[in-house]
Amino acid sequence: MNDTLKRCGWAGTNESLIPYHDNQWGVPVFDDRLLFEMITLEGAQAGLSWLTILKKRAAYRSAFNNFEPHIISQYDESKRDELMADNGIVRNRLKINAVIQNAKAFLVVEKECGSFSDYVWDFVENKPLRYAQREHAIKISELMSKTMKKRGFTFFGSTICFAFMQATGMINDHEPRCFLYKNIIVFQTI
């Protein structure tokens, strides 16, 4: 990690946030499993800090079968109770239920559109929006959120949707002073 680089202000000097900022945030993601992971994590963040969720990411991967929607969509009440007892994740029944419901909705979109990636990237015409297009990106996040809610997604309001778009590179929302603003590369898996 090069401490002389200028980064987005939110990354600060935090040893957990800097690697996430430098290697993942804002890098275009096209992998369906990773997109579902980010939907889940952004929904889990609601009302909490991203750092809290980032520290729990490995526990989430373990608890939610590496974010495989086919497996998660089959979770029963016993599995829900098991998740509610898991100290490694945010133990909020509404958020846990949302992951399961979103897995089901995700699979429908994947089947109808060929891939979830194709579906969400179509909202931005398959090209990341830039920081200067932020107002346009906010409108798109509102449309995407509304459309996905109609498709059965929950815990995916426009604020969470915008954060999802930022995290997955649908909008390159790195600050213009940030070294990554002009240097984002395509990133497919973690």
In whole angstroms, give the CA distance from residue 144 to residue 150.
Answer: 10
Which residues are part of the catalytic machinery? 20, 42, 50
Q: Output 132-140 pairs: Cβ under 8 A, ≥24 positions apart.
A: 133/171, 134/171, 134/173, 137/162, 137/165, 137/170, 137/171, 137/173, 138/162, 140/165
Say whether 15 sits in a helix, a strand or coil.
coil
Report the C-alpha gap between 97 and 72 in whole angstroms: 10
